[in-house]
Amino acid sequence: MFRRFDPKSHHQVTIRREARIEGVGLHSGKTASITLKPALPNTGIIFVRRDLEKPVAIPATFEFVTQTRLATTLGRGDVTISTVEHLLSAFRLLGVDNALVEVDGPEVPIMDGSASKFCDAILSAGFFDQSVPRKVAAVKKRIEVRKGDKVALIEPSNRLQIKARIEWSHPAIGVQELSYTLGKSDFQEISKARTFGFLKDVEALKKAGLVQGGSYENAIVLDDSRVVNPEGLRYEDEFVRHKVLDAIGDFALSPIPIVGNVTLVKAGHEIHAELVQSIFSNPENYEVKTLDEIEAPLDSPFAVGQRIMKPARVLQGSF
Ligand SMILES: [Zn+2]
């Protein structure tokens, strides 16, 4: 057991204590609360609907993804839990392998639209070294998913690196690129980046009975020319940072953590989930290794270490 987070752990990690988080559900607009609890080694992240007469457990893996529009939804039978991606991203950013997430309804609260509050809760719960080797799925070859001009691909590497590029013909977004390496980049470089939406879409979705909890409190909202939120942006390139945050959450929908160099162009939840699915569709695509077996040049692929990212600015050009 360690009292402080040990980012170099080659062992599996769970949280030390329970942590409760309460907020608004994006879709229902009602209060939603979750309780994070420690879990045994090799459990992964499991969501449990506690509000049902007979609680239903849903593992956070791609086999249980039922919907990727607006947010990632997990389901088992007719029981669902939506908006799981930012919490999953927080677990992965901080190197937590195993945890139970008890949910009192069909949604994880949206909080401020980023992973910030989830990271705070995990940090306050503390970390527990479980003395069992951490295993990863190291991809052995290039695997690519394309849908029109959207691309998600992964190539072999010793750690999980995500290079993302977004292109929006909107004056406040434009072309943004970011490279983030789990274990080398500081988690705070992306943990506070909020989700975003367009005023006209939000109005239409609300009329359709969706995103009833959506507000300036939990998203960057844009009109035709600018960011409408009075406080503005948290990072100049907050949009691409949030895409990376989402991708880390979506890549956490794997039975064990994936390591490889990921390139994403105009990607989103759906294509991220398809890439994870393609990796695990063929056992020839990856090799299960402990971190001791991987020749990691620096700390573990899950370490939270030095910041090496590009400075926050809108970039032109391509990679
Ligand atoms: Zn998101």
| Helix, strand, coil percentages, rounded to 5, for the chain | 20, 35, 45
What does the pLDDT average to over 252-256?
A: 92
Q: 248 CA distance to ligand 1 centroid (A)?
A: 10
CA terminus-to-terminus distance, the chain:
42
Least confident of 204-213, 228-237, 296-305: 296-305
- Report, as an integer, the average pLDDT of 48-60: 95
Tens-digit pLDDT profile for residues 159-182: 899 999 999 999 999 999 999 998
Q: What pLDDT, on the 0 to 100 scale, is given for residue 205?
A: 78
Average pLDDT value for the chain = 87
Q: What is the pLDDT of residue 8?
A: 52
pLDDT of residue 77: 93
Q: What percent of the chain has pLDDT over 70?
A: 89
pLDDT at 317 over 50: no
Question: What confidence score (pLDDT) does residue 162 get?
Answer: 96
Give the burial class of 104: count Cβ atoms within 10 A of its Cβ; 0-12 exposed, 13-18 middle, 19 or more buried: middle
Q: What pLDDT score does 116 carry?
A: 97
Predicted pLDDT of residue 191: 96
Spatial separation of the C-alpha atoms in residues 286 and 45, rounded to whole Å: 21
Residue that wins the pLDDT comparison between 184 and 240: 240
| Residue 58 pLDDT | 97
Measured distance CA(269)–CA(54) in Å, rounded: 30
What share of the chain has pLDDT > 90, as a percent?
72
pLDDT digits (tens, 9 = 90+) for 62-77: 999 998 887 889 999 9
Which of residues 298 and 233 earns the better pLDDT score? 233
Higher-confidence residue: 103 or 186? 103
Residue type for position 113: G
Select the more confidently predicted residue: 185 or 137: 137
Quote the ligand 1 centre to 62 CA distance (angstroms).
Answer: 17
CA 319 to centroid of ligand 1, rounded, Å? 23
pTM of the model: 0.89
How many Å lie between the centroid of ligand 1 and the Cα of residue 71? 7
- pLDDT for 296: 54
**Options 86, 242, 269, 272, the catalytic residue:** 269
CATH code for 136-290? Answer: 3.30.1700.10
DSSP assignment of 144-165 equals EEEETTEEEEEE--SSEEEEEE
Task: Answer yes or no: is pLDDT of 304 > 60.
Answer: no
Cα 228 from Cα 311, distance rounded (Å): 24
Residue 277, pLDDT above cutoff 80 = yes
Distance 294 CA to ligand 1 centre (A): 30
d(CA 312, CA 146): 28
Q: Which CATH architecture has domain 11-134?
A: 2-Layer Sandwich (3.30)
Is 269 one of the catalytic residues? yes
Compute the distance from residue 131 Cα to the ligand 1 centre, in Å: 32
Q: What local confidence, expressed as pLDDT, does residue 309 receive?
A: 32
Task: Tell me the pLDDT tens digit for each residue of 7-43.
Answer: 456 899 999 999 999 999 988 888 999 999 999 999 9
- What are the residue boundaries of the structural domains of the chain, listed by start? 11-134, 136-290
pLDDT at 314: 33
